[in-house]
Structure 1
Amino acid sequence: MQHVTRYVLFLLLMLLPQQGWADETYFITREQINLSALLAPPPAVGSREQQQEMAVLLNFQNTRTPAQVAFARADMDRSVFRFQDVMGENFTAQKLPQVAALFAKIKKSADHILAPAKAHWDRPRPYTSNPDIHPCVDKPDNASYPSGHSTFGTVSAIILANMVPEKQTALFERAELYRLNREIGGAHYPSDVLAGRISGTVIAAFLLRSPEFQAEFAAARSELRTVLGLPAL
């Protein structure tokens, strides 16, 4: 009986999503994008450049308003639906299941591409190097460079702009605020954010060249434009 029970449990485990058990990505691979070879190294700990960046963060810390703190905390959410303020009230996961599914894959793929670069440089977070930095956002448990939020925000803005080119300017402006909130929040150096912007742009370029991605992109774009009341492209 015990043998049967163990066998049933084994089968149930095999049916569960294998998240964290396997290296999985969608549309693109690490072999295509090696960010460790594309990005410049971050400023070294103790360097003049790092000290200048630290001064920028301390200035943000000393001048940020309660509204900025609330905005930075809200933007901790790495979700494409943080662009709702640009896309409108109908831009929700409930109304846009295909969009939600596509950007969940994009997020997972971006994280997969970014992970080796974070591990390669293993840059300490600003508050780790300087006890005078007091983040107003949660402290991530991974390395600082490149910024994952900035990468995802950049990819999201580019893909959304290709779905709804009518909102391209506003989407790119919102992405800039999304990235800046990582500095205002005290979680990232400016160079982390810049590297995230570059990384996100590269990842988006490869995604848009993927035939597999284009198939899902087209369906999500059609759904989005219908929900927003825009004509088909």
Structure 2
Amino acid sequence: MRQATVGLIAVAALLSACAGTPAALRPQAVQAAVSKTEGYLSGPLIQALADAVPPPPIAGSATDLADKSRSARFVTLEDSDRWLLATAHAELRPPLALQHFDCALGLRLGSATTPNLNRLMQRLFHDSDAAAELAKERGFRPRPVGDDPERRACQRVNDAGRKGASYPSGSSTVATVYGEAFAALEPQSATDARRIAREVGLSRLVCGMHYPSDVAVGEVLGKAVFEAAVATPVFEADLAAARSEVAAVRATGLTNPGCASERLALTTPLP
């Protein structure tokens, strides 16, 4: 009971960065302002990145069986601190998702005070999510919660969600792109930013929404998407504008009050 209570505190604290903020500055209030932002990459380039993703493991293959064996062991984490942190990680839309990196960077992110950062990440979200969805169309692999209808997910998931494609992990793709972007914004924090990006991907294993190889391939795709975005003419200008905002946020000295709880949750050994 104590562990679950601590986990609930962790999730609540991590999301509280918007709770005490004026409504006009909360992530929910600025989501509409960035949700229609287009990405950096053209449709054909996104399709080419998706086409480069290898097909999912064949059912019954050594990789598939190893994936399913390890995935089954994650059931032991249900209702743990790490399980509850994974419920927060399920939100990947900017600007709210940027708070996943608060503790790694020692900042307080995810509000209307960083419009350039929000736009940068929304464009990257657009491209990475689109590439992952196109890759999923090339070969269907059921999710763990689809293979086992009785398995609990750490997020609200309907029948369509359970029956969705698992490979590659779009969440891992998006999280990896975010991690690479924060590494570019603050090179001194690159290791920590990439570590949290990987933890977000691992959360999808905890949730039973993806298999290990889905997450691993999602990471590869995310890095490819980011490299392609970096090569576009407008990316550097957007990065510079976002870097100025991040520096201003750092100067405020504000941090996320949930970081101690996050650190505790991340000490949970993974199976």
Scaled by the length of structure 1, the TM-score of the pair is 0.82
Residue 132 of structure 2 corresponds to residue 114 of structure 1: yes
Q: CA RMSD in A?
A: 2.4
Deviations 1:153-206 (A, max 9, x none): 100010111010111111111111111000011100001101110010000101
Contact 2:50/2:131 (<8 A) preserved = no
Q: 1:94 to 1:36 in 2, by over 3 A?
A: closer
Q: Measure the CA separation in 2 of the matches of 1:40 and 1:76.
A: 25
Q: Measure the CA separation in 2 of the matches of 1:90 and 1:52.
A: 39
- 5+ long unaligned stretches in structure 1: 1-16
Q: Measure the CA separation in 2 of the matches of 1:116 and 1:87.
A: 32
Residue 117 of structure 2 corresponds to residue 99 of structure 1: yes
Alignment of 1:32-181 (within 5 A): 32-33=45-46, 34-64=48-78, 66-78=80-92, 79-131=97-149, 133-139=151-157, 140=161, 142-181=164-203
Q: 1:37 to 1:188 in 2, by over 3 A?
A: same
Q: Measure the CA separation in 2 of the matches of 1:155 and 1:133.
A: 29
Residue 206 of structure 2 corresponds to residue 196 of structure 1: no
Scaled by the length of structure 2, the TM-score of the pair is 0.71
Q: How many residues end up aligned between the 2 structures?
A: 211
Q: Measure the CA separation in 1 of the matches of 2:149 and 2:201.
A: 23
Quote the offset at 1:44 in angstroms: 1.8
Contact 1:150/1:178 (<8 A) preserved = yes
Corresponding letter in the other structure for 1:127: V
Q: Secondary structure at the match of 1:45?
A: coil
Identity of aligned residues (%): 28
- 5+ long unaligned stretches in structure 2: 1-32, 253-271
Q: Measure the CA separation in 1 of the matches of 2:77 and 2:247.
A: 40
Contact 2:50/2:134 (<8 A) preserved = yes
Pair member with larger Rg: 1
Residue 246 of structure 2 corresponds to residue 224 of structure 1: yes
Corresponding letter in the other structure for 1:191: S
